[in-house]
Structures are given as C-alpha cells and as structure tokens.
Structure 1
Amino acid sequence: MRFSQEDLKHIGSSCLNLSLRRTSRLITNYYDSALRPSGLRITQFTLLAAIAYETEPSITDLARLTDIDRTTLQRSLDILNRDGLIKIEKKEIGNVRNISLTKKGELSLTKAVELWKQTQKTITDNLGKSEFKQTLKILAELRNLPVLEIDPTEES
C-alpha cells in the first residue's frame, strides 16, 4: 500500500475540494427544499435570474455569466424551454440564439425570488452577517485564483 491511514485521514480533514463539495450538496439541498413551492430547483432559479438580469443573453453570454460549461448549460436550457419557462430564438444573422423568459418563467421566478430571500436571510442569520460576507469574499477569491484557470483548448 502506497498510502497510510494517516494520509487518508489527512485527505478527509483537509481537502478543499471535498469540503466544498460536501458543503455544496448540503446548501443545494437546502435551497432546493426552500424553493420547492415555486416548482424550481436552485440551479433553475439561478439560470432564470441570470436570463432576467441580462437582456436576451446568448448562450455564450449566459455561460460566461454563470460559469457553466456550454454542454451542461444547453441541457439545463432545454429543460427550461421544454417546461415553458424560457424561449430560445435564433437571430437572423449567424448562429446566435437569444434566450428570454416567458410569462410562466417570470411568474415562477417572481415566486422563487421571495422564497430565495427568506432562505438567504435564514442562512445569514444563522451564520452571522459578517461571517456570511466573509464566506462570499473567500469564495470569490478562490474563483479568481490564476492557478485555477483552465484553458478550454487543452485536452484532458
């Protein structure tokens, strides 16, 4: 064996990726549960919010805004389109498609925003306002580390 029990214990207690993924799953489940009355999951909510924020974004705009790879984003958009929450329209020039909310999408997002606000407040109150802000700051700093930048043209 090339690793010890101590190595494995150290991985479990100090791996940033493991800790972030565990926390992400818990937070995602919490938001999904809170948003359930709106009929949206947190992933759908964030996409609808991004679409509403950016006026008729292209898929490329949306991928950049949300940091979601285009393949995953396309699958999510197909579901939102199928469910009548968004419409995807091809522009007359080029291969660009714009995305916008439908009336149903606007209504779902409106309901979900109120639920999201309540959820945010609960988490902020439980963590503490300054700790909450500090957590967001640290996460933003992590996302901006140059070492984490991946060249999409590199092969895996």
Structure 2
Amino acid sequence: MERATDLAECRNCLCLAARSAARRITAVYDRELRPHGLRATQFTILTMLMMRGQTTVGALAKSLGMDRTTLTRNAALIAAKGWIAVTADGGDARLHVLSITPAGEALAREAFPAWRRAQERVSTAFGPVGVAALHRLSDARMT
C-alpha cells in the first residue's frame, strides 16, 4: 500500500535545514571578517594556502569540497587584490598553481582573531555534540 502524499513533511526537509544553517553560519564568519575586507571563503582559501603551500586549483578545490570553476572565480578575485598569485604550471598551461603572497599571509594573520570569534560563536550555538555531528556529516559519504 502506497503511503499517502503529505507535503507537510517537507517542512522538516533536512536539505533545506542544512542549506539555511550553512547560510547563517557563513553570515557569522562574513560579519566578523568584513572589517578586514574578507569573506569567509576568501579567508579559507588564504589559510589553506598558508598551511599547504602552493597548490593546484584542482587539488585545493578537492580539499575544500568546492567546484573547480567556483574556486577559479574566487581565486581571480583574491589575486586581483594581490593576496594570492596564480601561475601556470610549466608543463601544462591549463594547470594553474595558487600561492599566497606576503600581503595575503599578513591579512590572514591579522584576520585570524576575527575568524576565531566567529568559530567560537558558531561552536557555542551548536554545542559539542552538534559540532561533532557537523564534522561527521562533512566527512560522510551518503551516495
């Protein structure tokens, strides 16, 4: 017997809840980072390059769980501000390598306390169990 269609169930859609939560979380980080002229995604790219060193667009996109074209677009904006350098790999002109500049590193270090404030606010809102669940979900494969 087929279950009756009750669209009221959609009010509890986990996809919608996750997307809404992601937007709100991002807004917390963006508010804290705004005085430094940064958005959360830009700060993440800068700090990842600081930790990893020069990295190809493809490798960085994979580690960030981001589409290559989205990262390429973000990298171009950051490069225009002088915070990263984008160079072609000598062997393949289609392969672009990203590296942080001294100005980008200085900015990321200056903005780090703002990022930490956002991290603490979001962690407090989620609580330890929520933070652990969020990390589990970000690592999980649901396909």
Q: Distance in 1 between matches of 2:138 and 2:63?
A: 16
- Residues 92 and 82 from structure 1, CA distance in 2 versus in 1: closer, same or farther, beyond 3 angstroms? same
Whole-angstrom CA distance in 2 between matches of 1:138 and 1:75: 27
**What do you get for the CA RMSD once the two structures are aligned?**
1.9
- 1:122 corresponding residue in structure 2: 121
Q: How far apart, CA to CA, are the structure 2 residues paired with 1:113 and 1:57? A: 21
Distance in 2 separating the partners of 1:85 and 1:122: 27
* Inter-CA distance 125–79: structure 2 relative to 1 (3 Å threshold): same
Alignment map for 1:102-113 (pairs within 5 Å):
102-113=101-112
Indicate how the Cα distance of structure 1 residues 75 and 118 shifts in structure 2: closer, same or farther if over 3 A, else same: same
Question: Does the CA-based 8 Å contact 2:30-2:39 persist in structure 1?
Answer: yes
Structure 1 stretches of 5 or more lacking a match?
Answer: 148-156
Distance 1:115 1:10, change over 3 A: same
- Give 1 or 2: higher strand fraction: 2
The offset of 1:137, in angstroms, is 2.1
Aligned length: 139
| Distance in 2 (alpha carbons) for counterparts of 1:130 and 1:11 | 25
> Which residue number in structure 2 is paired with residue 101 of structure 1?
100
- Separation (CA, whole Å) in 2 of partners of 1:99 and 1:39: 20
Per-residue CA distance 1:26-76 (angstroms, 9 max, x = gap): 111111001112211001111112222212101111111111111111110
